[in-house]
Amino acid sequence: MTRPGTCAAYPRRVLLRNPSPLPRTLWGETWRLLLALAFGGFILGAVLIESQQPGEPPVPESLAFIEVVLGIVALALLPLRRRYPMPVAAVTAVLSGFSALATGASLIAMISLATHRRWRPVALVAALSMAASASYEAVRPTGNGLWGNVLSLVIGTLIVALTIAIGYYIGTRRDLFASWQQRAETAEREQASRVAEARATERALIAREMHDVLAHRISLVAMHSGALAYRTDLSADDTTRTAEVIRDNAHLALTELREVLGVLRDPAAPRDGEAIEPPQPTLASVEALIADERESGRTVSADIDVADLDSAPNALSRNAFRIVQECLTNARKHAPGVPVRLEIRGGPDAGLEIRVSNPVPVGAALPTGLPRSGMGLAGVTERAVLAGGELTFGTDRRGEFVVRARLPWRA
């Protein structure tokens, strides 16, 4: 008697090559048990019906009882196949050699084992299943003859091969889904990392822009307010003029701060890694910067000789202005009352060179009341490097503090 096989339903969960058992719903296990029971019951019913045909040996009641008991044992082992795939598949294969009712459980257990795609245990269970089929023919001899038995063997072999192929396909699909899921998780982690890095870069850009925009104005305010505090001999006109300078610079600082915050609050402004581009002055604004310094009482001599100044790239022009602004602010902080010399030279062929120098003050400097931000020369050094140039600073042999910056002229 030949016992045809069946294919198990398609599992829906992703399972790796060497997985730990995944939780499955009660219905998921129940319908598999019902499928195995239905298929095994169909085979057992076919065997019993055939045994009632004329010329077929009758089935003893004790043997029928044993078949039912062994079939129930095989079905009871089926829920354990995911935790112990090899033992359950092997035991149910052996039980199917003595019970037609165990056939469904054996095939589903074999599919579950084949999903792991390990050929040695699969080959062993397949051999056990073929041997069980042959033993069943021995326990239940039929009148099919030689060719009938050969046909039964061929059909059984095809059923086992189909069962293994189904299991292998399910395992391949599970691994594919797992790889897709892993790639998606990796992509999400990389995206989160890029977003975090972009946010950190954006915060650094905001801090640098805030420093560049406010430090110059605030230092002027601090210097003049300090003068009002220490100079008791100022006339009413001088006091009024100084207060007007403080007021004007405070208003300009607020205006520039409002421009930066306006860019940051603009929903259409760049986000996550894109450069922040608040309105920034350029080399053409250096003259106004020097005028502010002179108006505040500083002695600033300037020598600006830049060829094709109007055609200077925007990035170069902005970076140059910020470097000059920071150098003047730094001199005001650390060398108040000391004359400053500014030189800007260059052009499209030679690039741009900036030199700012001032004598190092002797003795204690007058307090300006402005705290150090820690982002001054270090910040413009980074700005120069990012622009493809360099910036150096230090005291030379003549006792002057000199800042030199070289920037490439890029179109």
Cα separation, 47 vs 56, whole angstroms: 11
Dump the DSSP string for 354-411.
Answer: EEEEEEPPPSPPPP--PPP-S-SHHHHHHHHHHTT-EEEEEE-TTSEEEEEEEE----
pLDDT higher than 90, residue 100: no
* Cα–Cα distances in angstroms (integers) from residue 187 to residues 180, 182, 194, 271, 369, in the given order: 10, 8, 10, 20, 50
Tokens linked to 164: 């293994």
Give yes or no for a contact between 171 and 114, defined as CB atoms under 8 angstroms apart.
Answer: yes
Query: Distance (Å, rounded) from C-alpha 99 to C-alpha 66?
Result: 8
Which two tokens mark 309? 């100044």
Strand partners, 353: 345, 406
Classified as helix, coil or strand, 65 is: helix
The four Cα atoms 32, 35, 38, 40 give a dihedral, to 10 degrees, of -80
Q: What is the mean pLDDT of the chain?
A: 77
102-160: pLDDT as tens digits: 888 888 899 889 888 888 888 888 888 888 877 776 666 555 556 666 777 787 788 88
- CA distances 269 to 29, 258, 262, 280, 300, Å, are 54, 15, 9, 15, 37
Phi, psi (degrees; rounded to nearest 5) at 165: -65, -40
Q: Tell me the percentage of the chain whose pLDDT exceeds 70.
A: 74
User: What confidence category does residue 20 fall into, taking pLDDT thresholds of 50, 70 and 90?
Assistant: very low
* Domain locations in the chain as residue ranges: 26-143, 282-411
Domain with residues 282-411, CATH architecture: 2-Layer Sandwich (3.30)
Return the H-helix or E-strand segment holding 167.
helix 145-230
pLDDT at position 142, please? 56
What are the φ and ψ backbone dihedral angles of 405, each rounded to 5 degrees? Answer: -130, 135
Which of 39-43, 89-93, 230-234, 260-264 has the weakest average pLDDT? 260-264
pLDDT in tens, 314-368: 888 888 998 998 899 888 888 888 899 999 999 988 899 999 999 988 754 444 4
- What span, in angstroms and rounded, lies between the C-alpha atoms of 250 and 255? 9
C-alpha R_g of the chain:
44
CA distances from 90 to 80, 95, 132, 380 (A): 12, 9, 11, 74
pLDDT tens column, 233-254: 777 787 787 777 777 777 777 7
pTM above 0.75, yes or no: no
d(CA 140, CA 135): 8
Please state the separation of Cα 209 from the chain's center in Å: 28
C-alpha neighbours within 13 Å on the C-beta side of residue 279: 8
Phi first, then psi: give them for residue 69, nearest 5 degrees: -65, -50
H/E stretch holding 300 reads: strand 300-306
Q: Where do runs of H (alpha helix) occur along 231-266?
A: 236-265
Q: Residue 77: which residues within 8 A CB-CB, separation 6 or more?
A: 88, 91, 92, 105, 109
Query: Taking the mean position of all CA atoms in its chain, how far away is CA 298?
Result: 52
**How high is the pLDDT of residue 344?**
94
**CA pair distance 3, 136, nearest whole angstrom:** 10
Could you tell me whether strands 340-347 and 300-306 are parallel, antiparallel, or unpaired per DSSP bridges?
Answer: parallel
Predicted local confidence at residue 345, as pLDDT: 93
